[in-house]
Structure 1
Amino acid sequence: MSSATPTWDPAQYLRHAGHRARPFLDLLARVPRLPGDPPRIADLGCGPGNATALLAGRWPTARITGYDNSPQMLDRAHVEHEGPTPGGGRLDFAHADARTWTPAETCDLIVSNATLQWVPGHAGRFPDWIAALAPGGTLAFQVPGNFDAPSHRLMRDLAGSPRWRGRLAGTLRHDDAVLTPEAYLEHLTALGCAADVWETTYVHLLQGEDPVLDWVTGTGLRPVLAALADEPDAREAFVAEYRDALREAYPARPHGTAFPFRRVFAVARRER
């Protein structure tokens, strides 16, 4: 099994920032009134901080901390977003690992945007996070639900083929990386929360050459790129094979390339 840790590239990730931000905004639109004044907010898996900054737009006076375990992402967030916010709040960033992170203080909102799929057994972390919420506080997250889509299935199939399995066995996440909406609802209601869970399939119209490959290069392909980092010829060969498969699965049309992307959302309010 590969033990390579993905290295994150903020510039690559941000190439599709507009499409990636839309689910986060849809998630925030369903968050109810927060109990604190000013509210204390934690963003778990903040990446380069561009989405975290959107929290200050929704809650201008909030004290917000974005947490991530990628030094590259945090460097970008510190430089571009850290400091006082226009509404009188504050935006900070700190290193943390979602597998072990527990809030050091009571939060009014813990939010996570497209991060928990990287955390095996993440539902097991819900009790600690819910316990850290103020009464009336909220845990809100969204995760990709497209692990059976061609973009992910073709990657797994190729990594498991005879040519690549020796190098890449165990590198990629599987379709159990996230739970069903029903399972999330059960976990959250069992913790005494009023939970709202739903799913949405976005159909992004991407532009440019090989845009689906460009998209996954910033996210799901990172483990493969890390595993083959010391073998540049092999890395290029894998990407070329995968690119050809994506071109067939997501053909370019006159106005762009349609990229359906299912996501699962949950908003859980602590009632006691």
Structure 2
Amino acid sequence: MWNPAEYLTFADHRGRPYGELLARVDLADPRRIVDLGCGPGNLTAELSRRWPDAAIEATDNSPEMVDAARARGLDARLQDVRDWTPSADTDIVISNATLQWVPEHRDLLRRWPTELVSGAWLAFQVPGNFEAPSHRVIRAVARSDRWRDALSGIDFRGGDTVEDPTGYASLLSEAGCRVDAWETTYVQELSGPDPVLEWVTGTALTPVRSVLSEDDWAAFRADLAPELTAAYPMRTDGTTYFPFRRVFVVAQVR
């Protein structure tokens, strides 16, 4: 169960990659733009400002996120990204921090160029930080004696969850696209108590929260908090640096 309010706690940091991704899409007058994994819709709503004449199609597999997107006036619908197929007028497909949740996303990236019209654009970004201290700490606490049994059904993903830019460039080139791929590490400055814990609560810990009782969830966070603070210590000015690597791909179907 996703919590849109928690996800939007760091809306500026989470939204920055979206804008930098779209800046590399060079199409003046698209007919239809599809946002796969639209979340609460705060970023999707900006698409009409750049492309006011385009039809905007938004999907997400979280009922809570779809409700939040609809509250912003979007015609969002509940759909698993694996079930999506493009309509004939789709000119831009966007997916922002979604495909890392889909183990089969490499197969989707091979398939979509065969279904999109010539000249269509595919733009996505995924976190590339699955071997960062934050994720290593989460995996270590989850595998501890206290939590191993309760969390045995969760796949705590590692470095092979996503490709690096070269891997995605090769995959999409072979699928018949012209590809621009790169990576960026944002040195995010967070504030407040336990800011990295609050960050991962809105994303990476969503599967954990879904299987624990309220008391166990609070206990798990209590175990996790000091480990994350040790990995990301607060600076003398009260802020915390949280480096975050992201992988970007913009591809055009030949």
| 1:66 alignment partner, SS class | strand
Percent identity between matched residues is 53
The answer to whether the Cα contact below 8 Å between 1:48 and 1:74 also exists between their aligned partners in 2 is: yes
Q: 1:255: how far off? A: 4.5
Counterpart for residue 101 of structure 1: 84
TM-score normalised per structure 2: 0.95
Counterpart for residue 80 of structure 1: 72
The reply on whether 1:182 has 2:166 as its aligned counterpart is yes
The reply on whether 1:235 has 2:227 as its aligned counterpart is no
The reply on whether 1:222 has 2:235 as its aligned counterpart is no
Counterpart for residue 48 of structure 2: 56
Counterpart for residue 228 of structure 2: 246
Gaps of 5+ in 1: 1-6, 83-91
The answer to whether the Cα contact below 8 Å between 1:107 and 1:132 also exists between their aligned partners in 2 is: no
Counterpart for residue 89 of structure 1: none
Report Cα offsets for 1:4-58 as digits up to 9, x if no partner.
xxx0000110111111000010100111225xx4521100000010111122222
Alignment of 1:134-153 (within 5 A): 134-153=117-136
Counterpart for residue 16 of structure 1: 10
The reply on whether 1:39 has 2:22 as its aligned counterpart is no
The reply on whether 1:111 has 2:105 as its aligned counterpart is no
Gaps of 5+ in 2: none
| 1:219 alignment partner, SS class | coil
The answer to whether the Cα contact below 8 Å between 2:113 and 2:176 also exists between their aligned partners in 1 is: no
Q: 1:147: how far off? A: 0.5
Q: 1:116: how far off? A: 0.3
Change (3 A) 1:38 1:196: closer
Counterpart for residue 264 of structure 1: 247
Task: Say how many residue pairs are matched.
Answer: 252
Q: 1:95: how far off? A: 1.4
The whole-number CA distance in structure 2 between the counterparts of 1:143 and 1:196 is: 14
The whole-number CA distance in structure 1 between the counterparts of 2:53 and 2:44 is: 14
The answer to whether the Cα contact below 8 Å between 1:114 and 1:143 also exists between their aligned partners in 2 is: yes
CA RMSD of aligned residues (A): 1.3
TM-score normalised per structure 1: 0.89
Q: 2:189 aligns with which of 205, 221, 224?
A: 205
The whole-number CA distance in structure 1 between the counterparts of 2:239 and 2:88 is: 46
The whole-number CA distance in structure 2 between the counterparts of 1:70 and 1:255 is: 34
| 2:46 alignment partner, SS class | helix
The whole-number CA distance in structure 2 between the counterparts of 1:105 and 1:128 is: 15
Give the 4+ runs in structure 1 shifted more than 3 A. none
Read off the aligned partner of 2:202 and give its amino acid letter.
G
Read off the aligned partner of 2:18 and give its amino acid letter.
F
Q: 1:155: how far off? A: 0.2
Q: 1:122 aligns with which of 105, 120, 128?
A: 105
Q: 1:182: how far off? A: 1.5
The answer to whether the Cα contact below 8 Å between 2:88 and 2:117 also exists between their aligned partners in 1 is: no
